[in-house]
Amino acid sequence: MSDLTYRSAGVDLELYEQAMQKLPALMKRTFTPGVMDLPGGFAGLFRLNALRQWQDPVLVSGTDGVGTKIKVAIHCGRFNTIGIDLVAMCVNDCLCLGAEPLFFLDYIALGKDDPQLLEQLVSGVSDGCQQAGAALLGGETAIMPDLYAAGDFDMAGFCVGVAERSDLVDGRYRVHIGDALIGVPSSGFHSNGYSLVRKAVFSHAGLHVSDTIPQLNCTVGDVLLKPTRIYAATVAAARTAATPAGLHAIAHITGGGIADNLVRVLPEYCCAVIDRNSWQPAPVFPWLQQLGSISESEMFSVFNMGIGMIFAVPQECAHTVLQAVSTPEYPAAILGTVRKQEQQEPSVEFRN
């Protein structure tokens, strides 16, 4: 009987080393002046004051994954965009506090060594970090053959940003009655609700990732793998446009939809009144709703319904901010206002 080796247990160290050699270039393209070079280090180094002199800096951190959107990537055999989603889900949360993204770390778990797959996954993370202006400072790749089936993988990310303490955007203290609510469009489902998406598309409707959706003029795979928008530039534009009053609140619309996420940035005495006719959800949402026979209330409680981020701003700068955060592809809209909450009123109310 031959001696046991790590390779016989399912981990090929030579193949693992091949994969690792592909990653430094993907990391280096994201480096900012704060990154300190440390070849072979056990951790990453970042100089906070290399960017500017902070008076009272507060570090802002966030961690997330991309959920079962990974299963869609596996079905499609397309792995170079899911990393953008990973960065987006972490960075967008940090942006809600007014933070400037500094660096990002990733964790990728595989069932077996696969240098090509790993390179594609990290290339997406690298692309996302470039969009966010964050350095990909490090990460971890775990090979766990008995935990993940062949072809399966998982990803998690961790972002760190920074803000002056005086500039932190905390809606619980900043939001005022009368503030305007500006909705910035999403790029689609982002990375939430994919257990329901997959059930409706694959199990209920029996579609395949290569099937064409005539009304959307693209394939199922294209729709479901469209990367999550990263709002770093959008938030920066909003902050500039909102001066001197500043942004009163920023809500990242993720799982739970508009109502569950907007309420997180409202003071207890305030409620948000949303005009349901102020925007039209992108066509992917009515397509899915009809495909899966999903109720309107379920759609709004699970998905972002075409709004990826909401800003609360003073009325006097609402139109200036609206113009600053709009693009031809993604025009923003004034969704409604903040007002005093009466007894037994919902914290977020939709009106037609």
Task: Give the alpha-carbon dihedral of 73, 69, 32, 230, to 10 degrees.
Answer: 120
The pLDDT tens digits for 288-301 are: 999 999 999 999 99
pLDDT at 328 over 60: yes
Contact indicator for 60, 161 with CB cutoff of 8 Å: yes
pLDDT at 314 over 90: yes
Assigned superfamily of 13-35+54-167 = PurM-like, N-terminal domain (3.30.1330.10)
- Tokens matching residue 83: 């990393």
Q: What pLDDT was estimated at residue 17?
A: 85
Helix 82-95 and helix 232-241, axial crossing angle in degrees, nearest 10? 30
Q: What pLDDT was estimated at residue 22?
A: 85
For the segment 135-151, the average pLDDT, to the nearest whole number, is 93
Every domain of the chain and the residues it spans: 13-35+54-167, 171-351
Percentage, residues of the chain above pLDDT 90: 86
The pLDDT tens digits for 228-269 are: 999 999 999 999 999 888 899 999 999 999 999 999 999 999
For the segment 293-314, the average pLDDT, to the nearest whole number, is 97
The pLDDT tens digits for 198-219 are: 999 999 999 999 999 999 999 9
Q: What pLDDT was estimated at residue 1?
A: 56
So what's the architecture of 171-351 in CATH? Alpha-Beta Complex (3.90)
pLDDT band at residue 12 using 50, 70 and 90 as cut-offs:
confident
- Fold equal for 13-35+54-167 and 171-351: no
Q: What pLDDT was estimated at residue 7?
A: 86
**CA angle centred on 262, ends 242 and 298, rounded to 5°:** 140
Rounded to whole angstroms, the Cα distance separating 279 from 294 reads 20
pTM of the model: 0.96
